Amino acid sequence: MRDLVIGDIHGGLRALEQVLERAQVSPEDRLIFLGDYVDGWSDAVETVNYLMELKTTHNCVLIRGNHDVLCADWLRTGNDNPLWEQHGGMATMASYRKWGEEIQAQHLTFYDQLEDYFLKDDEYLFLHAGFTNLKGVDHEYQSFNFYWDRTLWEMARALNPALDRGDPGYPPRLKNYKEIYIGHTPVTRMGESTPQQAGNVWNIDTGAAFKGPLTALDIGTKEYWQSDAVHTLYPEEDGRN
């Protein structure tokens, strides 16, 4: 069995189908999705529908992203959120308006059942963004950090590469886990389009919402598979560009 971690999809269903095909995913694999299933490309509803169906045939771990929280809030309240709308929400709203209220109720259940994080063997942590408590995720005071925090990745990137996990100067937050897998902050901001490691943190958000590909990575071997640049799969759309 492989553990495959998949980065932020942002409504790019065509990219998701492509990367799962390229990784030759089977029901024996465990698929760990890092969140942000919507906001960007036009297939928001279709992406969630696909994931709901996939979960019935495959071992899927579905983690909560900040864009999923924003979408669920809109579905639940109908309140305007101009900032969300500017960052992919408009495409998601348009997608839902093509469907009836019944699908919205089903999707609210989907969003409510997402997990804040997944911990494998107490050593491998998967979450959308980060955490702040020095003792680890079980001690976090505010759950929104799991899908909003960027300081974990910023700290990992600033880490002296000469330090290892056993060094007294290694950040206490990072010492809690052998490996940490996140999305949330696109590595395209660093000029990269492949998974990036800093310390013991792996960032799998390769910019699918913008001009990057969607990525699936085998945590055991670190082999990875990527879709085409997602904007090429939606040539008549802007995504979040």
123 part of a folded domain: yes
Which amino acid is located at 105 in the chain?
Answer: A
- Residue (of 9, 136, 113) closest to 61 by Cα position: 113
234-to-55, 77, 95, 177, 225 alpha-carbon distances in Å: 25, 30, 14, 38, 19
Indicate whether 48 pLDDT > 90: yes
Convert the pLDDT of each residue in 141-192 to its tens digit.
999 999 999 999 999 999 998 888 888 889 999 999 999 999 999 999 999 9
239 part of a folded domain: no
Our count of domains for the chain comes to 1
Question: Residue 237 burial by CB count (10 A; 0-12/13-18/19+): exposed, middle or buried?
Answer: middle
143 part of a folded domain: yes
Percent of the chain with pLDDT over 70: 100
Percent of the chain with pLDDT over 90: 95
Residue 150 pLDDT: 97
Q: Which tokens belong to 128?
A: 């959308």
- Residue length of the chain: 241
* Containing structural domain, residue 221: 3-233
Cα distance between residue 54 and residue 20, in whole Å: 11
Spatial CB neighbours of 77, under 8 Å, sequence gap ≥ 6: none
240 part of a folded domain: no
Cα distance between residue 63 and residue 109, in whole Å: 14
Dihedral over Cα of 106, 107, 111, 115: its sign = positive
Cα distance between residue 70 and residue 110, in whole Å: 14
Exposed e or buried b per residue across 203-213, where buried means at least 16 C-beta atoms within 10 angstroms of its C-beta: bbbbbbbbbbb
Residue 11 pLDDT: 98
User: What's the CATH number where 11 sits?
Assistant: 3.60.21.10
241 part of a folded domain: no
Spatial CB neighbours of 82, under 8 Å, sequence gap ≥ 6: none
* Residue 142 backbone dihedrals phi, psi, to 5 degrees: -125, 115
Q: What is the pTM of this model?
A: 0.97
238 part of a folded domain: no
